[in-house]
Amino acid sequence: MAEDSYMNRLSRPRILANNYDKEILENEVFVMDHIFSYIIAGFHEVWSGNHLYTFKAGDYRFFKRNQLTKSAKHAGQQGFKSIAVHIDQGTLKEIVTSYHDSTQQIYLGRDIELLKSNGYLESYVNSLTPYLGAAGKYDEEIIALKTKELILILLQTNPLLRGALFDFNDPGKIDLIAFMNAHYRYNVGLDRMAFLSGRSLSTFKRDFKRAFNATAGRWLTQKRLEEAHYLIHQKGKTVSEIYLDLGFEDLSHFSFAYKKAFGNAPSKKTD
């Protein structure tokens, strides 16, 4: 697989509205930039690693960059609605230069933080409405200013986030066994897993072989199938409920791999 452009491309500040009427919308996302998000209606379940977060209407969230997430957006009577601001690295570096505001502080918070409501955040969210979907001559510059405003508000009201916002490093090398056990369900390429574990692809493959005595592709398939077998036979889950959550791209691929591993179709019990 060719290296994903997310490792090289420059992001830009963005303000996005999410509006869904579907009862449940599930997706899997690589969070490339820090994201500030406010839920207007509905509720949101988010998996980051092995941790489940549940958010409701009225919640303000901060998503730390460089993480994999799985989520389910649940529509209420008004559907699911949220506003998200993507905080790019370029704007953060401008803040450091303009305000001489940097830090060597290590971020000790969670990958997803629930932010306490306050007047700053309430007023800020209310001010975003005119810029949703706007395409005027100066809207790009205005969005950049609104992103800077948000960063200053977060620094003012949530100083804990300073360590995350001003950390411009790529992920450091972390324990590979713990990382893989927390992320084997995610359907992403090995290059992305290598990046998030703080390794080049070649180093990732070498370290993986040493840690697991198997190739990453073979280990991931086996790990997912073992989890599938447990969920079907011990938890009573159906095939359609689990195959996507376990990182399989389609049902036929899952069924073929399962039968090859266990000798019968996933819908049938073993002796």
Q: Strand, coil or helix: what is 49? A: coil
Cα separation, 119 vs 139, in Å, equals 25
Half-sphere exposure of 96 toward its Cβ, with a 13 Å CA cutoff?
Answer: 14
Phi first, then psi: give them for residue 174, nearest 5 degrees: -120, 175
Domain 176-262 has CATH 3.40.190.10: no
pLDDT tens, residue by residue, 52-111: 999 999 999 999 999 999 999 999 888 999 999 999 999 999 999 988 776 678 899 999
pTM, two decimal places: 0.85
pLDDT tens, residue by residue, 172-197: 999 999 999 999 999 999 999 999 99
Q: What's residue 131's pLDDT?
A: 79
CB atoms within 10 A of CB 56: 12
Q: Which residues pair with 74 in a beta bridge?
A: 24, 43
Domain boundaries, the chain: 5-165, 176-262
pLDDT tens, residue by residue, 200-234: 999 999 999 999 999 999 999 999 999 999 999 88
- The class of domain 5-165 in CATH terms is mainly beta
Taking each helix axis as running N to C, give the angle between helix 139-157 and helix 119-126, from 0 to 180 degrees, rounded to the nearest 10: 170
Q: Do domains 5-165 and 176-262 have the same CATH topology?
A: no
